[in-house]
Structure 1
Amino acid sequence: MQSNNSGTRRSVEANRAARRMWRTGLAAAAVVLASGCTYIPQQRVAPGEVPMLLGPSVRDNVTPMEGVLACFADHVAASKRPPVVISVGDVKDYTGKYSINEGNAITQGGALMVYSALGKLAGAVGVAERFDPIIAERELGYADRRQLGDGRAHRLGTNGSTQVVPWLPYFGGSIHKSDYYIVGGITELNYNINSGGFEVAKNQVGAKARTFTASVGVDLRIVDTRSLVVLKTVSLTKQFHGYEVGVNVFRFFNSDLFDVDIGGKGQEPLQLGIRTALEEGVVRLLGTVTKVDPEPCLTLRPGSGAPLPTTAAEKLRTVPNPAPREDEPAAAAPVGSAVNLVRSSGAAGEPSQAASQITFDVGSATLGGAAMSIVDQIAAQARKQAVEFVLTARDTENWDARKRDALTDQRIAAVTSALANQGIAPGAISLSWRPDPSDTSIHRDGPGLQEIARLRIQGAAAPAAPAAAK
């Protein structure tokens, strides 16, 4: 009798444990689904069709090298040298990595990525098409056979006589030469060069966590088009990190089987890393033929951690330049670096002002750690005197007027709120300048940056008007 009671108690406890495990699993799954899944809008294009999911809108393909490319383009333009014309040969995948299910592991568009990198230099160098000239060659073939026309009649003079012809005359020399070309390939793909983690389980209930690292390598060279002399080679490598975490329950409770898997994993985009490595290779190679040192600009890479050379520091950050004129933007500071407050003498009877920068990431109205540090500096200075500061963003931002103004409003509100948390009343902050809605130009503020607004804090030296009235 006692054994039967013990068996009954064990059965009841097992059922209770199963119910608790089931509720716990469902709750955890609900949390994961609620946090990982967001609403995606749908659109029905035509009557009777099934609605289609619509994700985020198309955007520019931004990489961590955007600031470097913009900085290098500015330095090349400032050198006043005649622009060189660059072409691109084949930049192939030499890794040979292929999957039956997923195809090539490495992008087959390396040459196209190099062309896009040249295009991001904003005309600092000329770009000549040599990768796919098929259409141009066919046009020349039609012209050679007198089959190419433009819908107009053309006069040809031969031996003193004039002849009117419907075909387009061609006398040669219309194709511009290139000075140098870039060629190379993606040569390495190393899977799982380092991994670590743990996995713990008891009675088929466990948890796991894992990290892993892979890497790629690219090799590029720049060649003189006329002499075929290789002027410079670069060999770059890029590591990629990934993680995987999860909790698993796989158990029988009486006659019920519970199988619950909860977790997540993520990996740095492989092809984006290849594009980034190719863009850095382009900058390093062009430094040789443009006679512009790319190293000061390469320090703008996120997480580079390298100190600026003295010459670059003098240009970009450490030298206290005088305040800019009304028609000249202030010098820029790299994102994430401390900004020295630069004092300029105010008008007669006014205290001296301090100028500083707060930089936002592309499309973001959130103040990062470096920006918050600058806000703290501005707030401390505003307690002593009037402060004038600039809001900046990457010059790759080129929104339409409505989105630009809305984003600027959000950024001004974020700065005002952050200053209010530091004891600066919003009424003491005034807007000195922002682009007109019809102004579509880029107001550059040093390498890779543009001005989006200028603000002024009246400061303790000049009390706010309401306080003075009392």
Structure 2
Amino acid sequence: MTSITFARPRPMPTTAVRTLGAAVALAALAGCVTAPQERAAPKEAPIVLGPAVRDNVTPMEAVLACYGDHVAATSRPPIVVSVGDVKDYTGKYSINEGNAITQGGALMVYSALGKMGGAVQVAERFDPVIAERELGYADRRQLGDGRSHQLAGPTGNQVVPWLPYFGGSINKSDYFIVGGITELNYNINSGGAEFAVNQVGIKARTFSQSVGVDLRIVDTRTLMILKTISLTKQFNGYEVGFNVFRFFRNDLFDVDVGAKGQEPVQLGIRAALEEAVVRLVAAVTKVDPKPCLGMRVFDELPRQSAESLRKVPNPIVDSSGARVLTGEAVNAASNASPVSAGDGASVQIPFEFGAAALTGGTLNLLDQIAAAAAKAPTEVVLVARDTENWDAGKRDLLTDQRIGVVTSALISRGIAPGGISVSWRPDKADTAIHRDGPGLQEVAKLRVQGAGSGKGGPVQPAREENTRRGS
């Protein structure tokens, strides 16, 4: 009879048990923190891949889109705003982590202005180094564009390879924004609880901190501060955990499991700066921001950027800074009722704010006016936005330019110079706004008479002073 003896297995050494336990724990932890990895090329170490790039949205996206639409809907020429230095004045610095507050406050303000769309034009003043260098090259006749240019000289025209520059290519700004981030208050409020039995316990706590920003908007021409604003933003954080710290026989176990999180400080600073920008721009555009400010939501981030939320298209601005009629404005002008011939017929010629150029469907109206004036005298009323309120000298000069533009356009359409006269224009002492329809004021009135109309008395020059009201 054969006997079989089974050997009793030896107990695993304590060191091996610890090593195995550590390996199992490490594998479990690794499974919790794995991230996608990609090997870019053979024999290279794999790299970790994260989420895709997205728009840097804040809780203020809807507010910026809404306010940009409100300003654009006024049909005013866009104001030109620049940004100075928006510094970190808190002085909070860590040797390990560096500055606690972003050093890019000015860049955040620039982005906030850009989110409003073309309702606000943004002028670069923060870093004009490249432009200044190119102007220096142009001044030294070193800057070219690959083409030859004709330049008038004492001996006649000459062809030069450099780009002629006569100054005035840089557009001015109307206002600029400056200021800084002035407060960072740590742990202004905290609370929580911790419970343990036999060195096994749980804990939970919350904490808050805050930042403050102070900005101002300044008139570029006069350097007068038009509005100052001071805003503060609180940030909340939390921490929860489970802790074991005790001996089991001869072994000491120290286990910590938990999580903590905090609202991103720099995101909150960006949101505070964006709200400050809306309020400062409102101070100079006179467009009430309250209906839009009610749209801010801080309990979730929007899924769309301000640009995609905007509904009013960006205005098109010509080289002089005047708004060019587009979309519905052009259609309204081009689809205007035909000018009927007959004594007493009156037609409006609109001008944009501060501009003396004819744009959009106005040119079609001039064709109709010339055709109607050939049959009977026609009154042409030059109108502008009722927000125009210039001093007497500037108003007179602008009126002369507008009358001259319309007169030249009618002459080019076959109306004799003597057939155009000014029937009214405001006197220099007349400071009243002569309204003509919603949002419009009368600038001047012309009487246009073609050679074939056969009506009316002698006409007077288009700029005759005795046609002024009150003279």
TM-score range, shorter chain: 0.5 to 0.7
Matches within 5 A, 1:264-413: 264-302=259-297, 362-363=302-303, 394=304, 396=306
Matches within 5 A, 1:68-87: 68-87=63-82
Is the counterpart of residue 238 in structure 1 residue 229 in structure 2?
no
1:143 partner letter: A
Is the counterpart of residue 43 in structure 1 residue 45 in structure 2?
no
Tell me what 1:12 maps to: none
TM-superposed CA distance for 1:362, in Å, is: 4.5
Tell me what 2:160 maps to: 165
Tell me, in whole angstroms, the C-alpha distance in 2 between the residues paired with 1:217 and 1:298: 19
CA change 1:27–1:77 in 2 (3 A) is: farther
Tell me what 2:136 maps to: 141
CA change 1:201–1:230 in 2 (3 A) is: same
Tell me, in whole angstroms, the C-alpha distance in 1 between the residues paired with 2:157 and 2:214: 56
User: Contact 1:29/1:262 (CA < 8 Å) preserved in 2?
Assistant: no
CA change 1:96–1:232 in 2 (3 A) is: same
Tell me what 1:126 maps to: 121
Tell me, in whole angstroms, the C-alpha distance in 2 between the residues paired with 1:233 and 1:75: 22
TM-superposed CA distance for 1:158, in Å, is: 1.0
- Give the SS at the match of 1:123: helix
User: Contact 2:59/2:298 (CA < 8 Å) preserved in 1?
Assistant: no
CA change 1:129–1:445 in 2 (3 A) is: closer
CA change 1:123–1:167 in 2 (3 A) is: same
> Alpha-carbon deviations, 1:416-463, whole Å to 9, x = none?
xxxxxxxxxxxxxxxxxxxxxxxxxx89499xxxxxxxxxxxxxxxxx
User: Contact 2:214/2:228 (CA < 8 Å) preserved in 1?
Assistant: yes
Which protein is bigger by CA-based radius of gyration?
2
TM-score by length of 2: 0.59
CA change 1:231–1:69 in 2 (3 A) is: same
**Unmatched 5+ residue regions in structure 1?**
1-18, 305-334, 336-360, 364-393, 399-441, 447-470
- Give the SS at the match of 1:143: helix
CA change 1:274–1:136 in 2 (3 A) is: same
User: Contact 1:28/1:262 (CA < 8 Å) preserved in 2?
Assistant: no
**Unmatched 5+ residue regions in structure 2?**
1-16, 314-471
User: Contact 1:395/1:444 (CA < 8 Å) preserved in 2?
Assistant: no
Tell me what 1:104 maps to: 99
CA change 1:66–1:135 in 2 (3 A) is: same
CA change 1:75–1:264 in 2 (3 A) is: same
1:284 partner letter: R
Is the counterpart of residue 213 in structure 1 residue 216 in structure 2?
no
TM-superposed CA distance for 1:184, in Å, is: 0.2
TM-superposed CA distance for 1:292, in Å, is: 0.5
Question: Which of 253, 257, 261 pairs up with 2:256?
Answer: 261
> Alpha-carbon deviations, 1:398-421, whole Å to 9, x = none?
6xxxxxxxxxxxxxxxxxxxxxxx
User: Contact 2:65/2:307 (CA < 8 Å) preserved in 1?
Assistant: no
TM-score by length of 1: 0.59
- Give the SS at the match of 1:273: helix
Tell me what 2:405 maps to: none
TM-superposed CA distance for 1:271, in Å, is: 0.2
- Give the SS at the match of 1:275: helix
CA change 1:194–1:33 in 2 (3 A) is: farther
CA change 1:250–1:199 in 2 (3 A) is: same
CA change 1:75–1:397 in 2 (3 A) is: closer
Is the counterpart of residue 226 in structure 1 residue 221 in structure 2?
yes
Tell me what 1:202 maps to: 197
Tell me, in whole angstroms, the C-alpha distance in 2 between the residues paired with 1:119 and 1:445: 15
Is the counterpart of residue 180 in structure 1 residue 186 in structure 2?
no
Tell me what 1:346 maps to: none
2:194 partner letter: E
> Alpha-carbon deviations, 1:169-192, whole Å to 9, x = none?
110000000000000000000000
TM-superposed CA distance for 1:79, in Å, is: 1.3
User: Contact 2:116/2:306 (CA < 8 Å) preserved in 1?
Assistant: no
CA change 1:443–1:84 in 2 (3 A) is: closer
CA change 1:170–1:268 in 2 (3 A) is: same
Matches within 5 A, 1:30-69: 37=33, 39-69=34-64
Tell me, in whole angstroms, the C-alpha distance in 1 between the residues paired with 2:130 and 2:237: 43
2:178 partner letter: V
TM-superposed CA distance for 1:48, in Å, is: 2.0
User: Contact 2:69/2:310 (CA < 8 Å) preserved in 1?
Assistant: no
1:299 partner letter: G
Tell me what 1:429 maps to: none
Tell me, in whole angstroms, the C-alpha distance in 1 between the residues paired with 2:269 and 2:209: 12
Tell me what 2:84 maps to: 89
Tell me, in whole angstroms, the C-alpha distance in 1 between the residues paired with 2:92 and 2:105: 15
1:237 partner letter: T
Tell me, in whole angstroms, the C-alpha distance in 2 between the residues paired with 1:73 and 1:273: 21
- Give the SS at the match of 1:174: coil
Tell me, in whole angstroms, the C-alpha distance in 1 between the residues paired with 2:24 and 2:159: 84
CA change 1:80–1:32 in 2 (3 A) is: farther
Tell me, in whole angstroms, the C-alpha distance in 1 between the residues paired with 2:64 and 2:306: 10
1:239 partner letter: Q
Matches within 5 A, 1:20-35: none
2:150 partner letter: R
User: Contact 1:85/1:178 (CA < 8 Å) preserved in 2?
Assistant: yes
